Amino acid sequence: MSNTVLSLRGVTKRFGGLVAVNAMDFDVTEHQVMGLIGPNGSGKSTTLNLISGALKVSGGEISLRGTPITALPAEQINRRGIARTFQLVRLLPSMSVLENVVAGAVFGHKRRWGQDARRHAETLLARVGLEGKGHLRVGQLTYIDTKRVELARVLASDPKLLLLDEWLAGLNPSELQIGITLIKSLRDEGRTIILVEHVMDAIRSLCDTCVVMASGTKIAQGTPQQVLSDPDVIRAYLGDDDV
Amino acid sequence: MTGTDIRNLILSAIALGICALLPLSGSGYWLSIGVTIAMFTVLATSWALFSGPTHYISLATAAFFGVGTYVTGLGFETLPFWSLIGIAGVIGAVLAALVGLATLRLSGVYFVIFTLGLAELVRQVITWFQNKSGQKGLYVLTDISEAGIYWMLLSLATAVFLTGWLIGRSRLGFALRIIGDDETVAVHSGINSALSKVLLFMVPGSVAAMTGAILAPRYVYIEPSLAFAPMLSFQVVIMALLGGAGRLWGPLVGVIPFTLLWESISSNFPQQTTLLLGVAFLIIVYALPRGFVGLLDDLRHRTRARMAEGVA
Amino acid sequence: MDILITGLLLGGTYALIAMGLNLQYGVARIMNLANGEMLVAGGFAAFWMYTAGQISPFLTIFLLAPLTFVLNWLIYRIMLQPLVKRAKSRGQLETDSILATFGLSFVMVGLMLSVFGGDYFNYSYLARPIVIVGDTFALNRVAAFLAAVVICGALYLWLNHSRAGLSIRAIAVAPDSARLVGINVTHLAALAFGLGGAVTAVGGALLSTYLTLDASTGVIFTLKALIIVIMGGVGDVRGTIIAALLLGIVETLVASLLDPGLTLAAAYTLFILILLFRPQGLCGKKPT
């Protein structure tokens, strides 16, 4: 029995005439942290949106633990165990911090309700470093704390796979260290994660494996050291003239 | 159940008991005002159950209400009255589910437009049927008194408040709050947003139809233009928003003053009710975006802040 | 054939009204539910000018257009711009503008009721028969249709060929990018809102030459215009025209074959079909 969590086979997305994602193939195995990297507009976020069901694929198949999830609506995909954060943090403005996390615990993969859900949410808030801040309104939070709340929310349903869409973007250098440490601790717990990321330090220290995309196509795959020294990857990032 | 829950429950029961004594006062005028207030409390509270969290403005109240009056009008001779209320409730819920399935997947504008014309659509169809069968209106002659109607509405109001309280504590209620805040987050948290919205929309649909069924005997003679009067939908929206659709008891705060104002304007200046309606809408948007309840909240926050300052 | 032409004649004026609403919704992003009242007000003006001064409605529109343009421009600047500024999301602006324009529509109905009373009003202008391909039609319907065609055509050319028109279309397609390339979105939104209101009022004046109106019929026209805009696709001039003609024909068909009381029911049936099968509009592309 293989320990593959997620696999993409020939996944393609077209917007009108534009091919945003072209025949993507990759597998994510259990306890693995996979970096999905590439220049702006290379199709990373689109790939994440296809996996999470925010967009419908134009072709190919996505499966979770061997079961196809390609045609499922987003809420079904979440219930089967894929939870995501958003490139621009999305919190629920009318609710408290604690309720924001409870929101992730009630309807998702592992379902909790009532006191059970609240206790679980409190544990997770402590887990991401927000102990004692559950009663605050989300408008009162600092930027990194809003990111922490979102992370706690996606953890709340005990997902089989976490999708973090540029979770470290926009943090200042000291916050970045805190953020990297936090995600490292998730990796140490044995969680399976796909990171869409631009921050190279984070990619080097967090990812077990990387998939590099350029113009919608996978151009390299391997450990961070391998892919970051690959001439194709350097060309994709810097353009032909600089090589 | 916490201590405050029990206290609120007891206070509500006492308030309900006092309201139930109104017909014994013997004043026909106040009883008739009481019926109107009870009717709008039921309609506005159930309206806010759906529109409060989702921000979808439903103008379908008159359509559901009219369907309810027709259920009574067509069935009161053959079936017991209580069963007609039940039938109206079921038909209202089914109609709401159909409307919801067609429109709630789409943006709020489509929903408003659709519900705006729904009463007129049903009215035209019923009028057409009546013209074909050569019938004009329906006589609803029952031995149900004004006090009887009042008590039935009061029971329905109690049921609506209980339903609202239960929904507020349920997964469905929580799901709707999340949808109202950010639908994208909702679906990526495992919520079936279309289904949740349709389910909740069935509540005001069913309640409005039951209200219509209960009130039909009061009209004695019903015809399409009376039963489906679009004004009803707008009054309900205004009262709920004026009170504040964010809280269960919010609409009630809007219903009482607006009903009294409406009664006095329509008896003294009957030509000016439309103008009043317009001005009320503008006041809500520009001065009271969260209703009286929001105003109260702000005041409370301000005094609390001032008290905290005083202490420090 | 008779029905088809009557439907087309009606649809021509509908197209004009819906173009007005489409300018307001597509560009200024305001779902103006007082649109029908602006139409009735235009009709009232034409009625009043004709009965009081024997002035032809086709002359009145030249006075009506600038007046209603200014009026709607002011409505946008004073009432709606504050809502646009305070809105945190598209959804909130939608709700706020729906409530505000509802308020406006009731205030307008209330004012028209107190000025003109609740009676139906109509007048007889150009009520002469004219023969087209063997069938007779009222001359006023034909004249109103021709005027609508001229105005629609002028609007279409202006939107496609003038600088301001192109900017307005750019806002309709992508408001944020339009801002980036130096288009003054606020200014043009007000302009589009004013223009839309003027077009609707002129449409009302044309309609009043052959339809009977009263102070509270506005909402029916709002509904029809909304249905046309949604059928044709928001911001799509060609789609609007096709949808308007289609609605005119379907309504005329239902009115003459079934029952004149079912016209709105017919419009609704079309609307439901569109919602179920092509929510992006007849000519719109599938949203990605």
- Touching chains, A (3+ CB pairs < 8 A): B, C
What is the CATH number for B106? Answer: 1.10.3470
State how many domains chain B has: 1
The share of chain B scoring above pLDDT 90, in percent, equals 44
Residues in chain B: 312
Instruction: For chain B, say whether A157 makes contact (Cβ under 8 Å).
Output: yes
| Top-level class of domain A1-81+160-209 | alpha beta
Which chain C residues are Cβ-neighbours of B272 within 8 angstroms? 110, 114
C50, C57 in Cβ contact below 8 A? yes
Residue type, B132: K
Residue A1 scores a pLDDT above 50: no
Determine the pLDDT at residue A117.
92
CB contact under 8 A, B174 and A103: yes
Residue B310 scores a pLDDT above 70: no
Residue A5 scores a pLDDT above 80: yes
Determine the pLDDT at residue A47.
94
List the one residue out of C152, C191, C147 whose CA is nearest residue C169. Answer: C191
Residue range(s) defining the domain that contains residue B107: 3-311
Q: Give C286→chain A minimum CA distance, Å.
A: 9
What is the residue-averaged pLDDT of chain B?
A: 88
Determine the pLDDT at residue C144.
80
- In chain A, the DSSP E strands lie at 4-15, 18-29, 33-37, 59-64, 67-68, 82-84, 161-165, 193-196, 209-214, 217-222
Condensed to tens digits (0 to 9), the pLDDT of residues C134-144 reads 677 777 788 88
Determine the pLDDT at residue A2.
65
d(Cα B266, Cα B260) in Å, to the nearest integer?
Answer: 10
CB contact under 8 A, C91 and B241: no
Determine the pLDDT at residue C50.
86
Measured between alpha carbons, how far is residue B120 from residues B14, B73, B98 in Å?
A: 41, 19, 17
C229, C36 in Cβ contact below 8 A? no
CB contact under 8 A, B171 and A84: no
CB contact under 8 A, B185 and A92: yes
Residue A240 scores a pLDDT above 60: no
Condensed to tens digits (0 to 9), the pLDDT of residues B158-177 reads 999 999 999 999 999 999 99
pLDDT band (50, 70, 90) for residue B1: low
Determine the pLDDT at residue C49.
87
Nearest-CB residue to A113 (from B171, B178, B187): B171
CB contact under 8 A, B184 and A153: no
Q: Of C82-86, C162-166, C271-275, where does the model show the most confidence? A: C82-86
For residue C28 the two structure tokens come to 């200024």
A149, A97 in Cβ contact below 8 A? yes
Residue B106 scores a pLDDT above 70: yes
Instruction: For chain B, say whether C189 makes contact (Cβ under 8 Å).
Output: no
Residues of chain C contacting A, Cβ within 8 Å: 285, 288
Residue B24 scores a pLDDT above 60: yes
Residue A103 scores a pLDDT above 50: yes
Q: Span C83-87, mean pLDDT?
A: 85
Task: Find residues 10-49 of chain A whose CB sits inside 8 Å of chain C.
Answer: 15-16
Residue C181 scores a pLDDT above 80: no
Instruction: Give residue for tokens 């198949």.
Output: A61
Which chain C residues are Cβ-neighbours of B57 within 8 angstroms? 95, 98-99
Instruction: For chain B, say whether A84 makes contact (Cβ under 8 Å).
Output: yes
The share of chain B scoring above pLDDT 70, in percent, equals 98
Q: Span B211-229, mean pLDDT?
A: 90
List the one residue out of C110, C115, C107 whose CA is nearest residue B270. Answer: C110
Q: Give A146→chain B minimum CA distance, Å.
A: 14
pLDDT band (50, 70, 90) for residue A128: very high
d(Cα B87, Cα B98) in Å, to the nearest integer?
Answer: 17
d(Cα A28, Cα A7) in Å, to the nearest integer?
Answer: 6
Determine the pLDDT at residue C284.
60
Q: Give A86→chain B minimum CA distance, Å.
A: 9
pLDDT band (50, 70, 90) for residue C288: very low
Q: Span C109-115, mean pLDDT?
A: 87
Domain boundaries, chain C: 26-224
Instruction: For chain A, say whether B192 makes contact (Cβ under 8 Å).
Output: yes
Q: Closest chain B residue to A150 measured between Cα atoms?
A: B185
CB contact under 8 A, C96 and B289: yes
CATH 3.40.50.300 in chain A, residues?
1-81+160-209
Determine the pLDDT at residue B289.
82
Condensed to tens digits (0 to 9), the pLDDT of residues C213-256 reads 888 888 888 888 988 988 888 777 788 888 999 999 998 898 88
Condensed to tens digits (0 to 9), the pLDDT of residues A23-45 reads 999 999 999 999 999 888 889 99
